[in-house]
Structure formats: C-alpha cells, structure tokens
Structure 1
Amino acid sequence: MGTGTFSLSRGDVIELVDEPGRTVALTFDDGPDPPDTTALLDVLARERVRAVFCLVGAQVEAHPEIVRRIVAEGHLLGNHSFHHDDLEEWEPEAVRADLERTLAAIEAAVPGAEVPFFRAPYGHWGRTIRVAGELGMRPLGWQLSVWDWEPPGADELVRRMSGVVPRGIILLHDGGGDRSQTVEAVATLIPRLRAEGWTFTVPR
C-alpha cells in the first residue's frame, strides 16, 4: 500500500487499457457480495479471464473469504471506498481516512495483497485522485457502463456490452443488489467476443 508524491488530475483516470488491438477489460464494483461474486468467479475461472474487482470496505469485512479467492485466482483489486459514499465534496483528510480504512480491511483479509487501483463511487472524483495517488493507487475509470444496477435482463446487458471499443474498460457490478443478470450476461459475452476475435486483459 505504498505512499508517494503524485500530481494527478482528472485526465489521469484510466479509461482504456494500454494494449493494442481488440482487447477489453472487465471490472466489477461494489462487492464482494455472495452469491453473485462467487458465481461470477466461477464463470471467470471457467473462461480463464482475469478482471478487476473494486471492493467496498464494509463488504470486505463481511466476506473476507471471497476476497481471498479473488486474489488467489489472479484478479486485481481496486479500492471503492468503505461504504460507497459519494466522496466528491469531502475534504482530503476525510477521503484519506476512508480509503485507508478500506485498505486496512483488504490487508486484514489478504495480508500483502496489492491494491493498484481506486475507483470513485458514482464516478465522482472530487479531491480523491490526488489522495489515492499518494496512497499508491491509480484512478480507474471506464469506457463503457452498461447500467447493470438497473437490471434490464441479461440479453439487454449483453447488447449494451457489445458497445465496447478496442482497449475499452467495461464497468459492471457484482454487488449492491441482485447481480445474477450481470453474471448471466458475462457468461454469454465472453465466448461471444472471443468468437469475434477479442481478447481479455486487465489494466496495467
């Protein structure tokens, strides 16, 4: 969870992966949250796809065993605040306390696990970018959000995800409600994109 001096601005938010060609990254927010996170991990393991899980600290404390599985299976972690509060108007000291509390929860669940990314709840960055940078995390945005927090059916989610561009990062959710439609959509999307010549990666 290293510290350092960073000069980050909104323009430093990662919205595309740094790889050429028809590559795509899957990212999941608001978990871990059984049973959907575990079902999603089953899909990703079967398809041999790595992803980024942006974790909410309170959920980490409630389900540390799922965080251990996420790390053991080679996925990357992001800090998504402790309670998914909107941090946009928070002072830097309050932001730091929140992010450090979330990092401590992750450290308690999986000692030594790296947390390379921070994603602001609701995409409201405010003063969080500099604070996250000082805590050793890069701000992770997205190229495509499919609004899966308003479940429209798995088929519609697959249709929306087809709007990804080469090197795009897709924002999805494994927590915060019933995400079974997201799990079903991801299980459909991965082989479909592969058949169209896409590969899956993670931000670096």
Structure 2
Amino acid sequence: MAHPALADNPTPTVVDSARGGGRSVSFTFDDGPNPPDTLRLLDVLREHRVKAVFCLWGEHVRQHPEVVRRIVADGHTLCNHGMRHDDMATWPAERIRADLLETTAAIRAAVPGARIPYFRAPYGNWGQTPAVAADLGMQALGWRLAIGDWETPGTAELVRRLREGITPGAVVLMHDGGGDRSQTIAAVDTVIPALRSEGWRLSLPARRG
C-alpha cells in the first residue's frame, strides 16, 4: 500500500532541475552517511547557509543513525538511495518496492516520521524504479552535472569541474560517502561563495517532474 498521497503527487519523471529557474543550482550528496566527512560537510553547509539533498544508503544509515539525525536537524532534505546500492535497472517492481521500503524503514528508525520526498537510483540506472518510487510517495531525482568526485582528482580539479560545469537550473551530483570525500567538501566550501558572488542561488531540486 502506498503512503498517503501528497498535495503534489510524485510522477515517474526523473527530476534534474533546481527550483526557481534562472541562475539556480541544487547540490545533492550520495552514499552517506559517512562520518567524519558527512559531519564536516554539514558544518560547511551550515556556515554558508545552504540546504542540500542527502541521498542515503540504507546500510550506512543503520551504521550511523546519529549522522542522519544531524542531517535532519540541520534542515536538509532526505532521499532514498537504496539499501545496499544495488543496480535495480532489471529488477521487477516488487523487488524494487521491497528495497525502497526497507531503506525508508531504516531512515525512519533513525528519525521517526522523517520526510523522504526523493529517490535516486544507484548508478543512475533507473529501470522501473521511478514508477515504484512515485507509488511510495517519492519523486525520482536525477542530475545534470556529475563532477566525478569518486575519482578523487584533487580539490582544485573538482572546483574547476563545478565552475565550468554548472548551468542554470542544474542539479549537481556529488558524494559524501563511498570513500574519503575530503576533496569534495573542500571544493564545496570554495565554490559556494564564488557562485553567490556571481548571482547564483543555491536551492533545492524541483518537487515534481
């Protein structure tokens, strides 16, 4: 049974745009929670007064529930990123549904009643996941720019990729989990004030496709 319908019902369309149009951009972070990197990122976002989306890996949520509580306490938005970061592209709907429900349950065990408005498919391999997620009250969340921070190419290179790759209305994919993400966090700390000085707004993604 699906969660009660929201005022603006999710659609099976994958959202990849930021709210507000024009020079707006949304920062999203995958594969956490991952202390100490997630905690340091939260400090950076708080310092710059930026709200982001955290796409949570269910098993990591079970390992670090206190970090999920900090994410929510700081006012950020949650996204279901699957329980074990499996490629769900070829899975039948019922298997997808079971995984998403398990992930949501893990998040809500850490933060009872947590709002989880988005789902992002691991590896961006969607298959039937957008429709299943919509039925469970979550909008599929894609991206327009992935900076390849899993390569850990150095902070300066990540800053370059952000500065040159961001386009109006882009959702940006970065990572706070899955390895040492200190370069990503340093790049975010550098890029936010630079973007703002050029008139960019940092906003959340669009609500619906």
Same structural fold, with TM-score higher than 0.5 when normalized by the shorter chain: yes
TM-score by length of 2: 0.93
Can you give the 5+ residue segments of structure 2 that lack an aligned partner in the other structure? none
Hey, what's the Cα distance between the residues in 1 that align with 2:157 and 2:111? 36
Judge conservation of contact 1:4–1:133 (CA < 8 Å) in 2.
Answer: no
Hey, what's the Cα distance between the residues in 2 that align with 1:3 and 1:98? 19
Give identity over the alignment, percent. Answer: 57
Which amino acid in the other structure matches residue 144 of structure 2? Q
2:105 is matched with 104
1:62-91: CA deviations, max 9, x gaps? 000010010111100000000101111111
1:8-46: CA deviations, max 9, x gaps? 44xx11011231221111000000001110000000000
1:172 is matched with 174
Give the SS at the match of 2:151: coil
Matched, 1:183 2:185: yes
Hey, what's the Cα distance between the residues in 2 that align with 1:86 and 1:181? 26
Hey, what's the Cα distance between the residues in 2 that align with 1:109 and 1:129? 25
2:79 is matched with 78
1:159 is matched with 160
Can you give the 5+ residue segments of structure 1 that lack an aligned partner in the other structure? none
Hey, what's the Cα distance between the residues in 2 that align with 1:191 and 1:7? 33
Hey, what's the Cα distance between the residues in 1 that align with 2:196 and 2:10? 38
Which amino acid in the other structure matches residue 71 of structure 2? I
1:176-199: CA deviations, max 9, x gaps? 011110001000000111111111
Which amino acid in the other structure matches residue 193 of structure 1? L
1:121 is matched with 122
TM-score by length of 1: 0.95
Judge conservation of contact 1:88–1:127 (CA < 8 Å) in 2.
Answer: yes
2:149 is matched with 148
When residues 8 and 199 of structure 1 are mapped into structure 2, their CA distance, relative to the original with a 3 A threshold, is closer
1:27 is matched with 28
1:199 is matched with 201
Hey, what's the Cα distance between the residues in 1 that align with 2:136 and 2:10? 12
Hey, what's the Cα distance between the residues in 2 that align with 1:161 and 1:129? 27
Which amino acid in the other structure matches residue 102 of structure 1? T
Which amino acid in the other structure matches residue 15 of structure 1? D
Give the SS at the match of 1:53: strand
Once the 2 structures are TM-superposed, how far is the Cα of residue 2 of structure 1 from its aligned partner? Answer: 2.0
Once the 2 structures are TM-superposed, how far is the Cα of residue 167 of structure 1 from its aligned partner? Answer: 1.1
Residue-pair matches, total: 202
Hey, what's the Cα distance between the residues in 2 that align with 1:22 and 1:16? 11
Hey, what's the Cα distance between the residues in 2 that align with 1:7 and 1:102? 18
Judge conservation of contact 1:16–1:143 (CA < 8 Å) in 2.
Answer: yes
